[in-house]
Amino acid sequence: MRALAVASVLTIAFAALIVLGAVWWSATRADTAAKDRLFQTVSFALKDAEKKIPYDQESVAYWDEAVVNTHDAFNETWVDVNLGVWMHTYFKHDRVNILDAKNRLAYAMADGEKVADPDRIPSPVIEDLAVQLRHNIAEGALDHFEAEETRIPRIQDLGIVDGRPAIVSVMPLVPHTRGVVQARGSEFLIASVRFLDESFLADLAEANLLYRVRFSRADDIKPKEQSYPLKSRAGSSIGRFVWTPKLPGTRILSEVLPVLGACLLGIGIAVVFLIRHLRRTYTELVSSEAHAKHLAFHDALTGLPNRAYFNSRLDSALDDVRNGRGQLALMFLDLDRFKQVNDTLGHAAGDVLISNLASHLSAALRPGDVLARMGGDEFAIVMRDVRGRTEVEALCRELVDIVSKPHDVGCGQAVVGLSIGIAMAPQAGTDRSELARRADIALYKAKRSGGQHFEFFTEHMSQSVQQRRDLEIDLRHALDSGHELEVVFQPVYSVGGTALTGVEALLRWNHPRAGAVSPYTFIGLAEDCGLIDRLGDLVLRRACAVAGAWDLKTISVNVSAMQLRHGTFAQRVLDLLAETGMSPKRLEIEITESTLLAGTEASSRNLKALRAAGIKVSLDDFGTGHSSLSYLMKLEVDRIKIDRSFVRHVGKIEQSDSIVQAIVTMAHAVGVSVTAEGVETREQLDFLTRIGCSDLQGYLLSPPLSALRMVELIASKGPRNEKSGTEAA
């Protein structure tokens, strides 16, 4: 932009210089031409005057009467009228002298009047010329004239007469007929003087438009004046004509320059405006470009760098690491339960939460760190120049704390958590995508550990992720074929473990190479990769189809939170029951506390619909989560299953005993049934029976059994079982 301004100014200055130069050059040319013309004019005028005087004189000098009235008998009156006054009146001769044969002054006229008693000696210039003329005559000048070879002899010069510049012309008076004769050498001479000042100058000025013309004998020419030198025939200077020339160039210059100046000024101002306008547009362009750039590299909601920008920053930070300058930590952040904020409080609240968190998180960072929003509820941080893991851990703890505080989002409070996966460079590599992959694996691990947690990448994690990927492929395959998946049933007993009243359906996966895969592994995997619905349907269908035929009061099926979130879940269950002919009253679904906690509109609608149809809902793993008794109070469940971890400590830790007892008392108080799971010892069974826990489940009574074994079991205990079932009811 600056270059453009400079270039424009230079161009204009250059153009102005050229125009001015051209104008000035042509003005000077015009002036010189005008000066030359004036000089020529003056020269011509002078030559004209010089040429004219002898012609004038000739009109009276070649005349019999002039000879008769001077040579023979000097007739002063006639001379005065015809040679003196006449010459002044008609030819403007300023002085006329008539010289006799001896060059003495016989008559003198000055300015049209006869000089009364003139000096007998003429002016030196006249006398010199007279002498020369007589010399010429003596040399035969008159003979040539009479032979008609030349005109009347004459002599002429420029000189000073009476202190004034003048043309002086001398000529002999000669008869024009043969009637009058005069001896050679005795001729009278007529001398005319035409002054070159005053009237001559006035005429010259008028005829040739000369301005302030004057005659000067001194060297006093001013710079603006022009002069014409007057020189005698002998070459001596007698002064000069001086005038002030009217210079058209200078005049044009004086007229054109202001206009030109104004034009240039106008152009200059226009250009200045143009440049300023350009500069403004340029600045706007630059800022809009910067804005566009900002938009391209920043997230619109939070104003944080986006993925593209983050990657470029990470690349340059990794360059430093590769060059041995320090280490860095790449952190991937993911909010826990953000989806629920969106689902329950609305997307606007979700946006408010994200942008609030963005500013809180960036406030916690050190100046050189970069925080970016990678999309959705995912953020990333590059910590440069990290001294060690402790520094990263400290920041992670701070970030987790910041995020897990309740946040006001306008229409309510949002509670989310934060999971962080960290990969350090150079320890975990210095290639961006590899490092990112590893941070991602660490994040995944952190998420799987239940959130609110951060994990540093380890090689082991990488392997487990690859294993998970392989496992996912295998699980899909298993679902497609259906052969590797089996539903087993774990008996549930009542009346001190004597009466078989129900079963819990548990899924088994017999992997062809890995053998039995724990449901904890593949259920989670199915949830992560979207296979849980198919898996859940398979269990429900088989449980109803197989166990529905058994003479048991309750068939329990585990349902994951994800299944329950599907709007059509309840209807699918009812359809399945109708299909298999099992009564809804015999079906119990087991959900975990987190399912209720993280419940969406859809899940609570599903639960309501299921319960309305007579299906029971039991709260699994009771005591491991928040264990709020409020579900019991609100009568949202029909049963609770005391988690194995409490049962395990029964009889060993006194506190545990009291808690279990309290839970059972409380549940019974509000009419909720209680099952204790994981009963492995006689003491546990006795204690639980003593405190009134009605239903028991565990390896002590029976491990999960295949359908076939289950059928055998029911057959062997058939009659007693039936009786117990009735007793329990």
Q: Kindly state the smallest distance separating residue 505's Cβ from Ca ion, in Å.
A: 9
Least distance from ligand C2E to the Cβ atom of residue 446, Å: 21
Q: How far is the CB of 560 from ligand C2E (least distance, A)?
A: 4
Q: For residues 127 and 620, which CB has a smaller minimum distance to Ca ion in the complex?
A: 620
Query: Which of Ca ion, ligand C2E, none does residue 596 bind to, with CB < 5 to 8 Å depending on kind?
Result: none
Among 262, 447, 261, which Cα is nearest to 339's? Answer: 447
**Residue showing tokens 């920041």:** 395
**One character per residue 554-593, x = contact with Ca ion (rule: CB under 5 A):** ----x-------------------------------x---
Token pair 């750039």 in the structure block, residue: 293
Taking residues 632 to 671 in sequence order and writing x for each that binds ligand C2E by CB under 6 A, - otherwise, the string is: ------------x---------------------------
Binding region for ligand C2E (CB under 6 A) out of 220-228, 407-415, 554-562, 601-609? 554-562
- DSSP structure string for 415-462: --EEEEEEEEETTT-S-HHHHHHHHHHHHHHHHHTTSSEEEE--HHHH
Closer by beta carbon to ligand C2E, 560 or else 673: 560
Q: Candidates 47-55, 176-184, 556-564, 717-725: pick the segment binding ligand C2E (CB under 6 A).
A: 556-564
CB within 8 Å of 54: residues ≥ 6 apart: 154, 156, 169, 171
- Whether 523 contacts 533, CB under 8 Å: no
Q: How far apart are CA 442 and CA 423, in angstroms?
A: 7
Q: Residue 372 or residue 589: which is nearer to Ca ion going by CB?
A: 589
What is the pattern of x (binds Ca ion, CB under 5 A) and - over residues 602-641? ------------------xx--------------------
Distances (CA, A) of 246 to 35, 42, 213, 258: 8, 14, 11, 19
Site string for ligand C2E, 519-548 (x = CB under 6 A): xx--x---------------x---------
Q: Which is nearer to ligand C2E, 189 or 485 (CB)?
A: 485
- Cα dihedral 422, 424, 427, 433 sign: positive
Member of 507, 555, 582, 615 binding ligand C2E (CB under 6 A): 507
Least distance to ligand C2E from the beta carbon of 639, Å? 13
Of 218-226, 553-561, 622-630, 650-658, the window that binds ligand C2E (rule: CB under 6 A) is 553-561
Could you say which residues in the range 263-322 bind ligand C2E, by CB under 6 A? none
Interface with ligand C2E, residue 710, by CB under 6 A: no
In the complex, least distance from residue 526 CB atom to ligand C2E, rounded to whole angstroms: 8
Q: How far is the CB of 711 from ligand C2E (least distance, A)?
A: 19
> Concatenated DSSP letters for 581-648?
T--GGGEEEEEEHHHHHT--HHHHHHHHHHHHTT-EEEEEEETSS---THHHHTT--SEEEE-HHHHH
Q: How far apart are CB 488 and ligand C2E at their closest, in Å?
A: 7
Question: Segment near ligand C2E (CB under 6 A), from 61-69, 373-381, 656-664, 697-705?
Answer: 697-705
Q: Please name which of 191, 231, 194, 250 lies closest in space to residue 33, comparing C-alpha atoms.
A: 250
For ligand C2E, the closer of residues 165 and 698 by Cβ is 698
CA of residue 578 relative to chain centroid, distance = 68
- Contact letters (x/-) for ligand C2E, 476-495, by CB under 6 A? --------------x-----
- Give the x-and-dash track for 339-368 against ligand C2E (CB under 6 A): ------------------------------
Q: Are strands 214-216 and 189-195 parallel, antiparallel or unpaired?
A: unpaired
By the rule CB under 6 A, 497 interacts with ligand C2E: no
Q: How far is the CB of 557 from Ca ion (least distance, A)?
A: 9
Tokens at 276, concatenated: 């300023």
Closer of 560 and 721 to ligand C2E (Cβ): 560
What phi, psi does 431 have (nearest 5°)? -90, 130
Q: Which does 632 bind (CB under 5 to 8 A by kind): ligand C2E, Ca ion, none?
A: none
**426 or 548: whose CB is closer to ligand C2E?**
548
Number of residues that bind Ca ion (CB under 5 A): 4
Peptide bond into 426 cis (omega under 30): yes
Comparison of 507 and 531: residue with beta carbon closer to ligand C2E? 507
CB of 650 to ligand C2E, least distance (A): 12
Phi, psi of 187 (to 5 degrees): -65, 145
Q: Is 429 left (phi over 0), alpha (psi -120 to 50) or beta?
A: left
Choosing among ligand C2E, Ca ion, none, which partner's interface includes residue 302 (Cβ < 5 to 8 Å by kind)?
Answer: none
Determine the 3-state secondary structure of 376 from DSSP.
Answer: coil
Return the number of the residue (31 or 695) whose C-beta is nearest ligand C2E.
695
Angle, to 10 degrees, between the axis of helix 519-528 and the axis of helix 532-542? 130
Alpha helices in 238-388 (DSSP H): 248-297, 307-322, 338-345, 347-364
User: For 704, how many CA atoms within 13 A lie in the half-sphere containing its CB?
Assistant: 13
Nearest Cα residue to 617 out of 635, 599, 630, 629: 635
Residue whose CB is nearest to Ca ion in the complex, by number: 590
Q: Which long-range contacts (CB under 8 A, 24 or more apart) does 473-480 make?
A: 474/511, 475/509, 475/522, 475/525, 475/526, 475/529, 475/531, 476/531, 478/509, 478/511, 479/531, 479/534, 479/535, 479/538
Residue 330 burial (C-beta neighbours within 10 Å; 0-12, 13-18, 19+)? buried
Query: Smallest gap, in angstroms, from Cβ of residue 600 to Ca ion?
Result: 22
> Are the C-beta atoms of residues 112 and 160 closer than 8 Å to each other?
no
* Contact between 699 and ligand C2E per CB under 6 A: yes
In the complex with ligand C2E, the residue whose CB is nearer, 305 or 536, is 536
Strand, helix or coil for residue 191 = strand
Q: Does 31 bind ligand C2E (CB under 6 A)?
A: no
| The only residue of 620, 673, 710, 724 in contact with ligand C2E, by rule CB under 6 A | 620
The token duo for 662 is 């309290």
Do 648 and 698 contact (CB within 8 A), yes or no?
no
- Binding mask 557-576 toward ligand C2E (x if CB under 6 A, else -) reads -xxx----------------
- The residues in 669-688 that bind ligand C2E, with binding defined as CB under 6 A, are 677-680
CB 591 to Ca ion: min, Å:
9
Cite the beta strand spans of 8-112 per DSSP E: 95-99, 105-110
User: Closer to Ca ion at the Cβ: 299 or 620?
Assistant: 620
Distance in Å, CB of 504 to Ca ion, minimum:
6
Q: Which is nearer to ligand C2E, 692 or 703 (CB)?
A: 703
| Binding footprint of Ca ion on the chain (CB under 5 A) | 558, 590, 620-621
Site for ligand C2E, rule CB under 6 A: 490, 506-507, 518-520, 523, 539, 558-560, 590, 620-621, 644, 677-680, 698-699, 704
